[in-house]
Structure 1
Amino acid sequence: MALFLNNVAFSSTHKPLLRSTPSISNPKQNLQISQKLTFSLAESVSSATLVALLSASLFFVHPALAFKGGGPYGQGVTRGQDLSGKDFSGKTLIKQDFKTSILRQANFKGAKLLGASFFDADLTGADLSDADLRSADFSLANVTKVNLSNANLEGALVTGNTSFKGSTITGADFTDVPLREDQREYLCKVADGVNPTTGNATRETLLCN
């Protein structure tokens, strides 16, 4: 007589007898398992491929679409690009990076450009009228013949050889802009008007005599 405990049989002679477990062979069940594994593998590969494609697309955005969304919220690249004549008017471009870009005759009228960088950019003939340029960086930028009418440049940076020659600054606010003395003297010769947003007179913000 044998006793069974946890699939181990003990005979009356105390010699353990292993109880065999019958194998189950179900072709239909095996096929279903195989199909599930195949589908799971295909789904993983598809997801990985999609992620790779989306990641790659971030590096190949056409410059004409670069301004959409603006700054850290946009998906475009505006640094080191030729964006001459592009229309950015009224766009929200907070902290947007335009470093070393060519922006000749670009339209930024009424754009929100707080903290944007125009470091070493060429803005010749661009329209920045009514733009919010607080804390923007114009270091080494070419701001020749630019329309800065009624723009708010409070706290903007203009270090280096930033040139404002031929620019219109009627109503522009230069509060706390660290200008070189030669820059200040030049701007004071053409300064006039009052900024409609801050109520500050352009000449006063430039500390003109």
Structure 2
Amino acid sequence: MIAIAFKGGGPYGSEVTRGQDLSGRDFSGKTLIKQDFKTSILRQANFKGAKLLGASFFDADLTGADLSDADLRGADFSLANVTKANLTNANLEGAQTTGNTSFKGSIITGADFTDVPLRDDQREYLCKLADGVNSTTGNATRDTLFCN
């Protein structure tokens, strides 16, 4: 049997970040543009203040992750589990989501969801929690989610 390891892309170096268990890892404040975290387990990982433009979290488990103050513009959250995550003041402008992406139980105060495609039920759920204004973009969370 041959084991196949996927190389992680992006400036995190040659360390493999795709398909790995990186639970509890500290990526806070790091520049991880277009980093490949596909199918990784990132439970309770710390991404506070990280620059994650275009990063791929495709089918990743971000349960309880700290994404507060993170720049997540254009990140791919397709099929990702983003439950109970801290998205306080995160900028998710243009991030990708799919039908199964879940933000249940997440903190979204001040998060910017501009141009993020969400299922109607996810949008309705997030609108019940939405408050605050993103300190970077100046956009109100409720406005970016098109809440009534």
Q: Pick from 78, 88, 101: which aligns with 2:27?
A: 88
Q: Which residue of the partner structure matches residue 102 of structure 2?
A: 163
TM-score for both structures, normalised by structure 2 = 0.93
* 4+ runs deviating over 6 angstroms: none
Q: Tell me the CA shift for residue 72 of structure 1.
A: 4.9
What are structure 2's unaligned runs of at least 5 residues? none
What are structure 1's unaligned runs of at least 5 residues? 1-58
Higher strand share: 1
Asked if 1:102 is matched to 2:102, the reply is no
Q: Tell me the CA shift for residue 76 of structure 1.
A: 1.5
Q: Map 1:126-165; keep pairs closer than 5 Å.
A: 126-165=65-104
Number of residues paired by the alignment? 144
d(CA) in 2 for partners of 1:101, 1:167: 19
Q: Tell me the CA shift for residue 160 of structure 1.
A: 2.6
d(CA) in 2 for partners of 1:200, 1:100: 31
Q: Map 1:54-65; keep pairs closer than 5 Å.
A: none
Structure whose CA Rg is larger? 1
Q: Which residue of the partner structure matches residue 9 of structure 1?
A: none
3-state SS of 1:71 partner: coil
What amino acid sits opposite 2:141 in the alignment? T
Q: CA-to-partner distance for each residue in 1:100-144, whole Å, 9 max, x for gaps?
A: 000000000000000000000000000000000000000000000
Higher helix share: 1
d(CA) in 2 for partners of 1:144, 1:183: 12
3-state SS of 1:186 partner: helix
Q: Map 1:9-48; keep pairs closer than 5 Å.
A: none
Q: Which residue of the partner structure matches residue 12 of structure 1?
A: none
Q: Tell me the CA shift for residue 191 of structure 1.
A: 0.2
* C-alpha contact 2:79 2:98 (8 A) present in aligned 1: yes
TM-score for both structures, normalised by structure 1 = 0.66
Asked if 1:71 is matched to 2:10, the reply is yes
Q: Which one scores higher on RCO, CA 8 angstroms, separation ≥ 6?
A: 2
Q: Pick from 49, 52, 55: which aligns with 1:116?
A: 55
Q: CA-to-partner distance for each residue in 1:157-206, whole Å, 9 max, x for gaps?
A: 01130111000000000000011111100000000000000000000000
